[in-house]
């Protein structure tokens, strides 16, 4: 099973994601430069975190216009699992694959810390091995991580069960405490926290098992038996 | 921006003619204190640089240590003090950028940053607060964007840094030994400038940094662009993988002048370059501006004809600008051309090696009576004193700072910032611990004992993670070296570092000297900084949550050594007294014993006892574990001391070890057998931090109150002033 990890100029969690997919969960992971065509026969796509284009103009907005995003959109429409983490989430939002926007944290500072998120939808390709309301100890690291959407959009997100994760504590002032959402179909998921930083016990100061279930969900979706 | 009369004469005698104005500029940049180390070089020769893990001799800008299994770790430290004092955001950011490129130059990927920051008294001085806030933001914006975790550091506030800032950045790299750049070049090879364009920023920055800070020289400050730096890192590492790099150097202080002359000199070749080929961001730049501009994010790479096409392709993939600016010659000259015309032609060996100086030194007068002080009266309510100490910006938690730094990216950070030493996992299954320590207050009271203490403290910090120290870097920061009294403090520091490094067999693998750190208000206190790397073969000690009835053992003796302590200076506004000293023989025994106890698996938490003394060290354990503790002061191995001295003395070579009651006998027996002063000092339980003499409590503070002070004071001070 093959996963493409898209690398934009300024991505900096690409190698971390690649390591976790390949070495921890034994998926065939391939780093794909943003001007290259998506490889054939891929089964899932990940947009990793970082500072694509140095966060110029607005986080994720330039990368959202990369050639590769057109292909990502096509695959997303076909139902392929797509995960955007941190800057990847910002790119998904800026490219219109997910609704809403990501604003500066209420602290106005970059925030790197460990927190907990709560699973609100366990039907997505990245959460199907998790229990509803299960708490996941996870690392966050962002300056523009405050999810924002207007009332109408928020109501739709709730109605369509598109809220995938919420924070377990007040972290950055996000609307409805949202940490991650999906598209209506559920196959495209964006999240600000970093599952790839949280799925190995040696670097997770709490419990790495819940975060590892995000990747095991993907394995499950792709029909890989552990 | 010129040479002294003696230097001019020396230069003329060496080249046999008068230099032209451009040549003079080039030499002045390279012969600045900042680039040439002309005051310090002779004295630095005594530092021990050899060790079984040290890989040297390839002319790197960073130290290289073999960590086994075909892997190496690189390390370097630099400061960006003058620029940060003028423009803290850009100064601090480009300070990060510069040291990162030194790591890159060896052909290793930068995997961590540590920073040491120093400012004036932020409780009273708004300008110091402004410098502090913006330096932190500069480091955060730059390091975070690069995706290199800032894993640790230290911060100190002291009046001597008023209107000034010390911004020190250390970086660690990691890579395969076989990928190290060999730094060789032959006639006909190409000299390629890769990265940011050259502009009029940082003009004469190295000379600016080689004088006391008088006027705000903004044009000497460099402009940061972390996005370009990130791309340059990826270009260089890909070029390294494709074997496109024969030799490499980063462009830092002195810009092209230094990079070209030092590269040619180190490789024993000549370099001919054409300034019209340099990619620029501004029009009509003069040759001398081009030669001394310190525009950032630039690397000088030497490649051969066979690999030049591949190198260009890599740059184009990442859309990183480059220019092929010259070629390698046999003649050992640095020849600068503008189109067809030769505008400078100098022997690179002469340019790269300034005539060294013998500065006079003499014992500072202020030291004469500094130990002679009247001891302060013991405060009535030591509980209140402890709470005040916990909210002291020098002691309070620095989480307001390090939560702004991405310290997790790269997924190597096993022990996170806020602990004693930080720990990274390496690809060969081993772990690397790192810490930097400085203490201007101790070093002022006694330059020799002070810096030896910093070295000991940095070692203790990495030992607390279960690591064995394998190498060190130093950063020697002082005022004007032309002042014999200041130069004496410099020499004392070098001697102390040498003594300690030799005794503990820890090689000095790199360092930096920063002089002329002074303003109109006078020089800074001597502020040498020591960085220590430690290696853990098997498993790091990750602090376990302290449980009810766990015991605390104190190792080492508490002495009447409060000179330069936070207690004297913050509580009593008293500068002076006897500074803590290190008994190297005993310290080595203690360090070995603590490592053995950690490696035996008995230790739940190991904590260094330093700034703020025993009172603060115990409180921190209680605060971070949300549990109370009762310590019996009469059990503490010590000289005859008052309660306040016992609580706040900053004597070195002390550790607190948390162990399970079941391991008490075994642990104490080991310490007893090795003749190490120690005691079972107390037990964790309840909700109060208690220090008692016999049975009466001298200090009783609720853990939640202590938490509030220690965790929030710095953040509250920054947010609300």
Q: Residue A130 maps to which CATH number?
A: 3.40.50.880
Distance (Å, whole) CA A125 – CA A44: 10
Smallest CA–CA distance from A138 into chain B, residue: B408
B-chain CB neighbours of A9 within 8 Å are 227, 230-231, 318-319
Asked if A72 and A50 touch (Cβ cutoff 8 Å), the reply is: no
- Residue B684 is inside which H or E element, if any? strand B678-684
- Computed over every residue of chain B, the mean pLDDT equals 95
B696-701: Cβ within 8 A, 24+ apart: B698/B382, B698/B633, B698/B643, B699/B382, B699/B383, B699/B386, B699/B615, B699/B647, B700/B383, B701/B383, B701/B386, B701/B387, B701/B619
pLDDT at residue number B17: 96
pLDDT at B216 over 80: no
CA A56 to chain centre: 20
Per-residue pLDDT tens over the stretch B452-471: 999 999 999 999 999 999 99
A-chain CB neighbours of B416 within 8 Å are 205
- Residue B664 is inside which H or E element, if any? helix B664-673
pLDDT at residue number B228: 96
CA B410 to chain centre: 21
pLDDT at residue number A149: 98
Going by C-alpha positions, the residue among B86, B327, B316, B285 that lies closest to residue B190 is B327
Q: List the single best residue of A5, A15, A23, A51 to mutate versus B (max B Cβ within 10 A).
A: A51
Confidence category of residue A225, pLDDT binned at 50, 70, 90: low
Average pLDDT over residues B569-591: 97
A-chain CB neighbours of B545 within 8 Å are none
Domains in chain B (CATH in brackets) are 359-396+543-721 (3.90.650.10)
Confidence category of residue B591, pLDDT binned at 50, 70, 90: very high
Per-residue pLDDT tens over the stretch B467-512: 999 999 999 999 999 999 999 999 999 999 999 999 999 999 999 9
Confidence category of residue B214, pLDDT binned at 50, 70, 90: low
Asked if A141's CB is within 8 angstroms of B409's CB, the reply is yes
pLDDT at B215 over 60: no
Residues 26-45 of A with CB under 8 A from B: 33
Average pLDDT over residues B363-375: 94
Distance (Å, whole) CA B186 – CA B128: 50
- When CB atoms are compared, the residue of B231, B404, B411 closest to A196 is B411
Per-residue pLDDT tens over the stretch B692-712: 998 899 999 999 999 999 999
CA B360 to chain centre: 27
pLDDT at residue number B203: 76
Q: Which one of the listed residues A94, A116, A194, A216 is annotated catalytic?
A: A194
- Residue A44 is inside which H or E element, if any? strand A44-47
pLDDT at residue number A1: 85
Confidence category of residue B210, pLDDT binned at 50, 70, 90: low
- When CB atoms are compared, the residue of A20, A112, A202 closest to B407 is A112
Bridge partners for A226 per DSSP: none
- Number of structural domains (chain A) is 1
Q: Looking at CA atoms only, how far is residue B466 from chain A in angstroms? A: 15
Burial of B675 (0-12, 13-18, 19+ CB in 10 A): exposed
pLDDT at B721 over 80: no
The CB density around residue B79, as the number of other CB atoms within 10 Å, is 30
Q: Does A118 touch chain B (CB under 8 A)?
A: no
Average pLDDT over residues B94-112: 96
Q: List the single best residue of A54, A144, A192, A193 to mutate versus B (max B Cβ within 10 A).
A: A54
Going by C-alpha positions, the residue among B498, B491, B420, B412 that lies closest to residue B452 is B498
pLDDT at residue number B223: 81
Distance (Å, whole) CA B335 – CA A170: 62
* Number of alpha carbons in the 13 Å side-chain half-sphere of residue B173: 30
Strand order, beta sheet including B508-514 = B413-415, B422-425, B431-438, B529-536, B468-477, B508-514
Average pLDDT over residues B175-188: 96
Average pLDDT over residues B108-114: 98
Catalytic residue check, A13: no
A-chain CB neighbours of B409 within 8 Å are 12-13, 16, 49, 141, 197
Residue A177 lies in a domain: yes
Q: What is the pTM of this model?
A: 0.96
pLDDT at residue number B112: 98
Average pLDDT over residues B113-120: 97
Nearest-5° angle of CA B427, CA A4, CA B113? 40
Per-residue pLDDT tens over the stretch B236-250: 999 999 999 999 999
Q: Which residues contact B236 (CB under 8 A, 6 or more apart)?
A: B104, B107, B194, B245, B248, B299, B301
pLDDT at residue number A33: 97
pLDDT at B676 over 90: yes
Percent of chain B whose pLDDT exceeds 90: 93
Average pLDDT over residues B596-605: 97
- Computed over every residue of chain A, the mean pLDDT equals 96
Confidence category of residue B324, pLDDT binned at 50, 70, 90: very high
pLDDT at residue number B217: 55
Per-residue pLDDT tens over the stretch B158-179: 999 999 999 999 999 999 999 9
Asked if A138 and A114 touch (Cβ cutoff 8 Å), the reply is: yes
pLDDT at residue number B56: 83
pLDDT at residue number B201: 80
Residues 46-65 of A with CB under 8 A from B: 49-51, 53-56
**Which domain does A180 fall in, by range?**
2-221
Is the CA virtual torsion B115, B121, B124, B125 positive or negative? negative
Average pLDDT over residues A155-177: 97
- Provide the ipTM: 0.96
Asked if B522 and B478 touch (Cβ cutoff 8 Å), the reply is: no
Distance (Å, whole) CA B204 – CA B255: 9
User: A186: which 2 tokens?
Assistant: 């559920």
pLDDT at residue number B1: 53
Bridge partners for B198 per DSSP: B280
pLDDT at residue number B63: 94
pLDDT at residue number A152: 97
Distance (Å, whole) CA B254 – CA B202: 9
Q: Does A23 touch chain B (CB under 8 A)?
A: no
Residue A226 lies in a domain: no
Asked if B230's CB is within 8 angstroms of A113's CB, the reply is no
Asked if B634 and B694 touch (Cβ cutoff 8 Å), the reply is: yes
Confidence category of residue B59, pLDDT binned at 50, 70, 90: confident
- When CB atoms are compared, the residue of B230, B408, B411 closest to A112 is B408
Query: SS3 sequence, B99-111?
Result: HHHHHHHCCCEEE
Smallest CA–CA distance from A110 into chain B, residue: B404
- When CB atoms are compared, the residue of A50, A51, A109 closest to B404 is A109
The dihedral region occupied by B145, where left means phi > 0, alpha psi between -120 and 50, and beta the remainder, is alpha
Residue A76 lies in a domain: yes
User: B491: which 2 tokens?
Assistant: 């020499």
Per-residue pLDDT tens over the stretch B382-440: 999 999 999 999 999 999 999 999 999 999 999 999 999 999 999 999 999 999 999 99
pLDDT at A226 over 90: no
Going by C-alpha positions, the residue among B700, B710, B456 that lies closest to residue B588 is B456
Asked if A55's CB is within 8 angstroms of B231's CB, the reply is no
Q: Looking at CA atoms only, how far is residue B144 from chain A in angstroms? A: 8
Asked if A20's CB is within 8 angstroms of B317's CB, the reply is no
Distance (Å, whole) CA B4 – CA B131: 34
Residue A117 lies in a domain: yes
Smallest CA–CA distance from B542 into chain A, residue: A205
* Number of alpha carbons in the 13 Å side-chain half-sphere of residue A116: 12
Q: Looking at CA atoms only, how far is residue B403 from chain A in angstroms? A: 5
Q: Which residues contact B215 (CB under 8 A, 6 or more apart)?
A: none
Residue A114 lies in a domain: yes
Q: List the single best residue of A5, A15, A36, A110 to mutate versus B (max B Cβ within 10 A).
A: A110
pLDDT at residue number B718: 94
Q: Looking at CA atoms only, how far is residue A164 from chain B in angstroms? A: 24
Asked if B479 and B496 touch (Cβ cutoff 8 Å), the reply is: no
User: A203: which 2 tokens?
Assistant: 């670097």
Asked if A113's CB is within 8 angstroms of B405's CB, the reply is no
Asked if A197's CB is within 8 angstroms of B408's CB, the reply is yes
Q: Report, in this order, helix, strand and coil percent for chain B, each rounded to 5.
A: 40, 25, 35
């Amino acid at each position: 099973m093959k996963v493409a990890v898209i690398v934009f100029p300024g991505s900096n969690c690409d190698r971390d994601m690649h390591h976790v997919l390949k070495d921890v969960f034994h998926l065939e992971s391939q780093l794909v430069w943003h001007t290259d065509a998506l490889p054939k026969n891929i089964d899932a796509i990940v947009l990793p975190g970082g500072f694509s284009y140095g966060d110029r103009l607005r986080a994720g907005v330039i990368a959202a216009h990369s050639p590769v995003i057109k292909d990502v959109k096509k695959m997303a429409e076909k139902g392929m699992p797509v995960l955007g983490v941190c800057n990847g989430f910002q790119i998904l939002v800026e490219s219109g694959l997910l609704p809403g926007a990501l604003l500066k944290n209420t602290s106005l500072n970059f925030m790197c810390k460990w927190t907990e998120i709560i699973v609100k939808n366990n039907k997505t390709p990245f959460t199907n091995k998790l229990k509803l309301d299960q708490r996941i100890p996870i690392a966050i690291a962002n300056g523009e991580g405050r999810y924002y959407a207007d009332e109408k959009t928020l109501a739709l997100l709730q109605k369509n069960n598109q809220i995938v994760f919420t924070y377990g504590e007040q972290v950055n002032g996000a609307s409805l405490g949202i940490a991650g959402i999906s598209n209506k179909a559920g196959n495209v998921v964006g999240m600000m926290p970093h599952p790839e930083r949280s799925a190995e016990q040696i670097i997770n100061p709490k419990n790495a098992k819940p975060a590892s279930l995000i990747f095991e969900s993907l394995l499950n979706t792709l029909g890989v038996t552990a | 921006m010129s040479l002294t009369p003696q230097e001019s004469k020396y230069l003329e005698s060496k080249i046999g003619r008068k230099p032209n104005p451009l040549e003079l500029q080039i030499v002045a940049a390279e012969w600045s204190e900042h680039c040439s180390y002309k005051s310090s070089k002779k004295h630095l020769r005594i530092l021990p640089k050899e060790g079984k893990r040290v890989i040297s001799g390839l002319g790197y800008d960073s130290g290289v240590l073999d960590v086994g299994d075909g892997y190496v770790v690189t390390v370097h430290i630099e400061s960006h003090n003058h620029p940060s004092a003028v423009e803290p955001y850009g100064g601090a950011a480009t300070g990060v950028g510069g040291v990162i490129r030194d790591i890159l130059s060896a052909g290793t990927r930068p995997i961590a940053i540590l920073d040491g920051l120093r400012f004036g008294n932020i409780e009273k001085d708004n300008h110091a607060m402004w410098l502090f806030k913006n330096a932190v933001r500069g480091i955060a914006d730059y390091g975070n964007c690069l995706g290199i975790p800032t894993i640790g550091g230290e911060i100190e506030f002291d009046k001597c840094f008023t209107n000034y800032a010390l911004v020190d950045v250390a970086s660690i790299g990691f890579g395969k030994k076989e990928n190290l750049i060999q730094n060789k070049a032959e006639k006909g090879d190409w000299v390629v400038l890769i990265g940011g364009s050259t502009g009029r920023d940082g003009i004469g920055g190295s000379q600016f940094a080689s004088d006391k800070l008088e006027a705000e020289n903004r044009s000497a400050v460099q402009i940061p662009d972390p996005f370009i730096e990130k791309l340059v890192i990826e270009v260089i590492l890909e070029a390294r993988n494709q074997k496109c790099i024969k030799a490499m150097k980063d462009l830092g202080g002195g810009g092209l002048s230094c990079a070209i002359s030092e590269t040619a000199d180190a490789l024993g070749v000549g370099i001919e370059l054409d300034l019209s080929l340099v990619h620029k961001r501004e029009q009509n730049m003069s040759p001398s501006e081009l030669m001394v501009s310190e525009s950032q994010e630039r690397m000088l790479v030497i490649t051969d004809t066979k690999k030049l096409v591949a190198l260009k392709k890599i740059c184009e993939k990442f859309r990183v600008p480059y220019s092929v600016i010259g070629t390698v010659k046999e003649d050992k000259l640095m020849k600068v051309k503008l189109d067809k015309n030769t505008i400078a032609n100098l022997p690179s060996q002469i340019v790269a090696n300034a005539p060294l100086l013998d500065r006079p030194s003499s014992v500072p007068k202020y030291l004469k009576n500094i130990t002679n002080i009247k001891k302060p009266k013991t405060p009535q309510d030591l509980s209140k004193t402890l709470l005040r100490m916990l909210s002291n910006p020098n002691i309070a938690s620095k989480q307001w700072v390090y939560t702004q730094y991405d310290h997790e990216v790269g997924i190597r950070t096993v022990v996170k910032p806020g602990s004693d030493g930080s720990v990274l996992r390496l690809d060969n299954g081993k772990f690397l611990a790192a810490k930097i320590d400085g203490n201007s207050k101790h070093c002022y009271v006694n330059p020799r004992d002070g810096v030896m203490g910093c070295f000991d403290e940095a070692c203790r910090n990495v030992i607390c993670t279960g690591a064995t120290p394998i190498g060190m870097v130093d950063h020697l920061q002082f005022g004007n070296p032309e002042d014999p009294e200041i130069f004496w403090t410099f020499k004392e520091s070098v001697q102390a570092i040498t003594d300690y490094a030799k005794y503990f067999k820890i090689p000095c693998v790199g360092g930096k000297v920063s002089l002329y750190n002074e303003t109109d208000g006078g020089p800074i206190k001597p502020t040498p900084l020591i960085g220590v790397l430690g290696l853990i073969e098997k498993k790091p000690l990750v602090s376990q949550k302290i449980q009810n009835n766990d015991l605390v053992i104190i190792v080492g003796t508490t002495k009447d050594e409060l000179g330069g302590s936070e207690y004297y200076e913050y509580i009593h506004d008293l500068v002076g007294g006897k500074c803590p000293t290190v008994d190297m023989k005993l310290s080595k025994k203690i360090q070995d014993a603590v490592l053995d106890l950690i490696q035996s698996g008995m230790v739940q938490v190991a904590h260094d006892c330093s700034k703020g003394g025993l009172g603060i060290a115990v409180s921190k354990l209680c605060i971070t574990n949300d549990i109370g503790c009762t310590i019996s002061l009469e059990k503490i191995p010590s000289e005859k001391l008052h309660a306040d001295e016992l609580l706040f003395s900053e004597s070195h070579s002390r550790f607190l070890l948390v162990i399970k009651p079941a391991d008490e006998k075994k642990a104490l027996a080991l310490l007893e057998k090795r003749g190490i002063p120690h005691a079972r000092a107390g037990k964790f339980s309840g909700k109060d931090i208690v220090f008692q003499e016999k049975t009466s409590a001298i200090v009783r503070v609720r853990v939640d109150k202590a938490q509030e002070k220690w965790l929030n004071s710095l953040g509250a001070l920054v947010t609300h002033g």
